[in-house]
Chains A and B, each alone.
Chain A
Amino acid sequence: MLFQPAIIALLMAAGVAVLMLLAAAPFAVQVIRHWDINSGSERQLALERRTYLFSTLLSFVMLAQLAALLLFVFNADRLSVMFVGAMCAVGTLNVNGYGFPSLLTQIAVFFLAAMWLAINHVDTQARDYPLVRIKYGLLLLLLPVLVSSFWLEFQYFSALKANVITSCCGSMFSEESKTIAAEASGLEPLPAIWLFYGAMAAAIGVALWHWRRGGRVSGYLLALTSAGGFVAAITGVLSFISLYIYEHPHHHCPFCILKPEYDYQGYWLYIPLFVATAAGLGAGAMQPFARVPSLARIIPAISSRFSGLTAAGYILFTALATWFVLTSNLILIEH
């Protein structure tokens, strides 16, 4: 176990989040069992008051998770000097088997949290809190994910031993290995470019459609294209965008672009991408409730705002990626 400030901070944040959610769980059960908005009983009054506490608490937990995800990657990149053979975050995450599962669950927690916050947001806008039961039911589903994320993170950090020879990005994202990451990066640049721009165009198009016209179908589609857009964007980064940024035809690493040597260009790409995907998924998550009478006017307004954000985020991401490719000196495809 490395005695390192950022690791202590991350474990503390994750631990506090799990504790808060655990404290909220009995209350969630209570709400699911006894919530009755038409009742004026003392219990209902107490429950209504408590919902304020728990929505604030959960918003805090979710926001902390978002910050923790950034810190996790940032720190993994920084720790790479400690491990022989590691040159960026990939090497650090590969030191033991828990690194990548931990990162992936944290990304999953991030998007699930964003969807939960979106539902929570529309629910608090309505006078009669129509989604309270569903919200707290979902919360109970979120709890095991958060606990496993904490557990994986703890396992990962406690098994970190400096001086372990790890494989670095050069070998992991090379064309020979047989992992999904390698499949994605082994894609020929031309089909990868088609896939990337096709998915981005679909995501932006659907987002703009939903923004102007609204409607449930486009809302669901938006969630779908956002999720697909996220995968396509990461594939694009792996297969060609990173190559253009490094100006190196065989370096497929999605983490090295976060380094100062490349002017932190990765943050410019990832932040709009994550925001856009989170907003798109959030807009999709609220669609099942669009027929609830008290939400009939609220949901279209909010989801159209979210889809505007999605469109803006994807446009920014695509434009930046295109710009990085065009200004690069690397020639990957000959005309």
Chain B
Amino acid sequence: MRIWLEKQRHLIDFTLASLARRKTKNIGLLLAYTLLVFVLASLTLFTHALRTEATFVLAGSPEVILQRMVAGRHDLIPPGYLDKIGRIRGVQKKEGRLWGYYYDPVLNANYTFMARPADEVADGHIMVGNALARERGLDKHNTISFRSYSGKLFTFEVSAVLSPDSELLSADLVLLSENDFRSFFEYPAGHYTDIALSVANPQEVRTVAAKLSSALPDSRPILREEVLRTYQSVFDWREGIILTVLAGAILAFAILAWEKASGLSAEEKREIGILKAIGWETGDVIRMKTWEGLLISLTAFLLGFIAAYVHVFHFGAAVFEPVLKGWSVLYPKFTLVPAVDGLQIATLFFFTVFPYTAAVLVPIWRAAITDPDAVMR
């Protein structure tokens, strides 16, 4: 074992010296390799961070949302509907929610209006999301007017701007009292937009949903886990699409690696010839070349990954943002929580080191079987 380790150490030593002798060629390869790892790693880190963010955000949402359907379209919850549900075992709380969209011609953007209980927002007051406040230049105690869909003008006083920490959820949010909400939208009395139910035990959620749909056949229960799953697969899908687009780049890189590895200069050939003349075996040359590939791979992987980490978590992934994040007029500003995942690194390794190694195997062998007399003559 000691001898084997010693041998590998000397091989690495020799390989490093030989890499340093051909700086320009190897730096070129290293740069291309690092760039590839960087692009792919940025992509996976960014999607993973978005996925984590979605999980965080949804953790606080109700387990089940119940919507009423009329002719397959989302409709208002009529009075008495809430009582029809009755007591379902496992449901801790059920409440009717009031919310809607309002189009603001000033910003060309849609706001989400949501009613809150009177102890949170008084009549005539509103609380606004941070992105909205930023765009409209609002601050605490300012007043703002909205023209309602019926043409009447309503003036509200801003009682608070919601904390920027919740911006991902509250970017376009306007919270107002129930009375204001009903009069602003001329919402029919006793009606609600939908019903939120909280279920304590996650294993009971599906049973609760089944009971709801049998008790109220005209309703549609939406489960939090379903929303989460949809987000997961949407992000996976987006990542997969970009990876497929980048498959060309991976292939191009494999071809580059093949070219670089097979285009041995006369000097390199002579070097291998001399090594074999002084007693190296074909197997030793293959081992040396394998170490060379491994060293380049690991360096490139490490550099590329660190660069991607900085790019995503310090510069907000400027390159991929538009494709992966989606867009909106009032887009929330949020910083991603750094999250690195073992599976992502393993997958990334398969996408970069695997093709590289596969591509250089044959050239390595070609170099290793060189006859000493043929190159030294």
By a beta-carbon cutoff of 8 Å, the part of chain A in contact with chain B is 2-6, 8-10, 12-13, 16, 20, 49, 52-53, 56-57, 60, 64, 67-68, 70-71, 74-75, 78, 81-82, 84, 124, 162-163
Contact = CB atoms under 8 A, between A and B. Distances in A.
B143 to A, nearest CB: 46
Interface of B: 44, 206, 225, 228-229, 232-233, 236-237, 239-241, 243-244, 282-283, 286, 290, 342-344, 346-347, 349-351, 354, 357-358, 361-362, 364-365, 368-369
Contact of B354 (A3, A16, A84, A124): A16
A163 B236 contact: no
Nearest to B342: A74
Given A3-B240, A5-B240, A71 B346 contact: yes
SS class of chain B's interface: helix, strand, loop or mixed? helix
A3 B365 contact: no
Given A52-B368, A60-B357, 12 more contacts: A4-B236, A5-B44, A5-B243, A8-B243, A12-B350, A13-B354, A53-B361, A56-B286, A56-B361, A60-B358, A81-B232, A163-B229
Nearest to A124: B283
The 5 A-B pairs at the shortest CB distance, nearest first, are namely A3-B240, A9-B350, A53-B365, A6-B347, A49-B369
A52 B236 contact: no
Nearest to B51: A81
A5 B233 CA distance: 11
Contacts of A52: 282-283, 286, 365, 368-369
15 contacts: A3-B240, A4-B236, A5-B239, A8-B243, A9-B347, A10-B350, A20-B358, A52-B365, A53-B362, A56-B290, A64-B354, A71-B346, A74-B342, A81-B229, A124-B283
A226 to B, nearest CB: 21
B282 A162 contact: no
A74 B346 contact: yes
Contacts of A162: 229, 233
B7 to A, nearest CB: 14
B356 to A, nearest CB: 11
Contacts of B237: 3
Nearest to A63: B357
B361 A60 contact: yes
A82 B283 contact: no
